[in-house]
Structure 1
Amino acid sequence: MEVRAVSRFVRISPKKARRIANLVRGKDVKIALSMLKFIPSKTAVPIAKTIKSAAANAKNNYHMNENLLYISKIMVDQGPPMKRVKPRGMGRADVIRRPLSHISVYVEERKEEE
């Protein structure tokens, strides 16, 4: 059974966040969190937070063993751009678009080997 957690409207470029998400896809939750701890990127923090949330959802709501959890799917989708106005010369204005992301993490329990 897949358990999910979603962080929406995260102030990170989706392109940069996907690079980090691809590193932890398919890994065990504990290994992924320890990997993210040492990645020198600001995108690692909200991704780690979402993974922790998905693991907590699995443990508390579905009584899954947190030692057997792995990341089955992780997706970073583009959110609506945050628009800002930058004044320019001669009374003009430019629109600055700041990217937002939606991070979705799905965790599953690995099958125990008999």
Structure 2
Amino acid sequence: MEAKAIAKYVRTSSMKIGIVLDLIRGKNVNEAFAILQYTSKNAADVVTKVLKSAVANAENNLNLDVSRLYVNNAYACQGPTLKRFRPRAQGRAYRIRKRSSHVTITVTERL
């Protein structure tokens, strides 16, 4: 059995979040929390929140043992992009893309 948590419309690009997710994929939950605590990326806060939610779902909804959980699957999909324009010289405008993402983490109990 696996428990899942999703954070939608996170205002960070999926590439930046993916760097942090690569650090914890396949790790024990306690080890993943330790890694995230000392990761200096802003995306680590979002990933920590989603991981806590996945662990809580596993404990409360599926009655899984928290000490035996590990991060089975972790990925970030691209969400909607806000398109803005920045004025430039001689009447031109440059497009600014403010990207968002959907973060999904799945935890499973080791057998």
- Give the alignment's TM-score, normalised by structure 2: 0.92
Alpha-carbon RMSD across the aligned residues, in angstroms, is 1.2
> Displaced runs of 4+ in structure 1, greater than 2 A?
87-95
Whole-Å separation in 2 of the counterparts to 1:110 and 1:61: 17
Whole-Å separation in 1 of the counterparts to 2:34 and 2:108: 18
Secondary structure of the corresponding residue to residue 40 of structure 1: coil
Look up the match of 1:5: 5
Whole-Å separation in 1 of the counterparts to 2:56 and 2:83: 34
Kindly indicate whether residue 96 of structure 2 is the aligned counterpart of residue 96 of structure 1: yes
Q: CA deviation at 1:92?
A: 4.1
Higher mean C-alpha deviation, range 94-103 or range 48-57 = 94-103
Whole-Å separation in 2 of the counterparts to 1:90 and 1:19: 38
Secondary structure of the corresponding residue to residue 106 of structure 1: strand
Secondary structure of the corresponding residue to residue 103 of structure 1: strand
**One-letter code aligned to 1:23:** L
Whole-Å separation in 2 of the counterparts to 1:30 and 1:84: 40
Kindly indicate whether residue 32 of structure 2 is the aligned counterpart of residue 66 of structure 1: no
> Where does 1:26-41 land on structure 2 (aligned, <5 Å)?
26-41=26-41
Q: CA deviation at 1:95?
A: 2.5
Q: How many residues of Structure 1 are paired with residues of Structure 2 in the alignment?
A: 111
**One-letter code aligned to 1:42:** N
Q: CA deviation at 1:14?
A: 1.2
Whole-Å separation in 2 of the counterparts to 1:65 and 1:82: 41
Q: CA deviation at 1:15?
A: 1.1
- Give the alignment's TM-score, normalised by structure 1: 0.90
Q: CA deviation at 1:13?
A: 1.6
**One-letter code aligned to 2:107:** V
Seq. identity, % = 39
- TM-superposition CA deviations, 1:56-97 (whole Å, max 9, x none): 011111111111111000011111112223233444433210
